[in-house]
Amino acid sequence: MSKMRKEVDFLVVGSGVAGLCFALKAANFGKVCVVTKSKIDEGSTRYAQGGIASVVYQPDSYEKHIQDTMVAGDELSDRHIVELTIRESTERVMELVEWGVDFDKNQDGSFALAKEGGHSEFRVLHHKDITGYEIEEKLIQAAKRNKNIEILENRIALEIITQHHLGIEVTRRSNDITCYGAYVFNPATNHISTVLAKVTMMATGGVGMVYEHTTNPKVATGDGVAMVYRAKGAVRGMEFVQFHPTSLYNPKESPSFLITEAMRGAGAILKDAAGNSFVEKYDERGSLAPRDIVARAIDSEMKRQGVDHVYLDTTLIPKEEIFAHFPNIYAKCLSIGIDITKEMIPVVPVAHYSCGGIQTDEWGATSIRNLYASGECASTGLHGANRLASNSLLEALVFSHRACLKALQTLPSLGFCQEVPDWNSDGTVLNEEMVLITQSKKELQTIMSSYVGIVRSNLRLQRAFDRLEILYRETEDLYKKSVLNPEICELRNMINVGYLIIKHAMERKESRGLHYSLDYPPYHPNK
């Protein structure tokens, strides 16, 4: 076999909590290759501050957590999926503890639980305000120790390989599309390898970079969703983009720094410049209402007052609690001259989380055979129209576990498709016009932020669609002609994802959850 070809039992694209959990479990049964676009720890997982929601102690119960999830999802969540996720949550979280994750504890040794927006009980396990970082570090250590896991950093998965690459026509109506692995690009050598796999797991994270301002890292360009969509796989719910109500207002910084919801759970309140609390005007739960409501309330106040941010009053939280639970946020704000024990934090909503993505079933299986998806790139049915805070890490754990169980059932009967051709780069030329790519990226982000943000309308969406169509044609043309580089690959994926967000938003003729349109009345299930 040439050095440009590789055969593995399991190919994992992405190295956040979803990808690494799957890799660690699959490694007990075969050879695993983890492909990650940047360094292994550079993904959204490490930036997750709040924690992971799970029922641990009474008076909490699975039924309460299920109900909170359904309400937050504006009744669009799949009840069956919600129930199985929540009922399996405790076991999956305890697995993290076995892998060495150190959740904060009370003096009596019990888990210290936080309460966040939309939750009726204290159920969020955390490690200070860097929970994601703690989980990611422990999973990376376990993966690096595992002899059956090969980690390829700074590699870009270009396309998943299907019958299409064998010259067979594949359409959205095809019901037998099969994944044979992926083409993987190494920018350092310009080589494109053919990685054949019996099972492929897509765990590429979110899409935040299609917007001007986001809490997501620079790698969150929707690659997995775009690849599966191009391979004619099913994608759904892309209109539901969650804007986190409270990121630190610091325009020069990218990505935006997140101010965790747990601060509002600890007593912080959103106020305007005059010091007036305002969220109560929009929802009786005030600053602890679900994220979609709080983000719209802030957006509405900013537009009404003609300002570019509001404030989070953290002076209401005891100093000791800030130092103990939010040391990272305290240090960050202090570095730009804000002492959050004495001053309010300027905050603004930014793109945070994609509730839609690659459609999966209850086992994390996609519409393409031997291809699974987990984490933010997947649409399992858990989040519906809006994600409940701290359910994302939980979802990744549950579905990576279930995907591994399902994959193991089929593994003995699977082989490698040797007919797959190597990548053909004939006829491409070195693109020296980087400005073409950077400018298109800026245009895309401006279009999405201006027209497809927290509040939408038919007119705005149509305008976005028309502008994006031009960018799409220009980028596809450039991609086909150019020697590949990471920037053109990402731009292409971002435009694909932007198109899907707009298309799905145009198709939804109601205001529901995270999709709010001026042209349609809000959804009320009881009316």
Just list the catalytic residues. 291
Of the candidates 503, 516, 515, 497, the residue with the CA atom closest to the CA atom of residue 465: 503
Q: Residue 227 to residues 196, 358, 473: CA-CA distances in angstroms?
A: 16, 10, 17
DSSP 8-state assignment for residue 349? E
Residues 6+ apart with CB under 8 A from 222: 204, 206, 207, 209, 210, 354, 377, 493, 494, 496, 497
Name residue, tokens 């490698």.
Answer: 416
Of the candidates 205, 338, 204, the residue with the CA atom closest to the CA atom of residue 259: 338
How crowded is residue 500: how many other Cβ atoms within 10 Å of its Cβ? 24
How crowded is residue 109: how many other Cβ atoms within 10 Å of its Cβ? 6
Residues 6+ apart with CB under 8 A from 104: 111, 112, 125, 126, 127, 128, 325
DSSP symbols for 451-495: HSSSSB-HHHHHHHHHHHHHHHHHHHHHHHHBPP-HHHHHHHHHH
Q: Are 301 and 274 in contact (CB under 8 A)?
A: no
Cα 246 from Cα 330, distance rounded (Å): 15
Q: How far is CA 104 from the centre of its chain?
A: 25
Q: Residue 516 to residues 239, 254, 296, 455, 506: CA-CA distances in angstroms?
A: 10, 26, 9, 5, 11
Of the candidates 181, 190, 208, 333, the residue with the CA atom closest to the CA atom of residue 268: 333
DSSP 8-state assignment for residue 499? H
Q: Name the token pair of 201.
A: 């797991």
Tell the burial category of 443 from Cβ atoms under 10 Å away from its Cβ (0-12, 13-18, 19+).
middle
Q: Cis check for the bond before 59: say yes or no (omega within 30 of 0).
A: yes
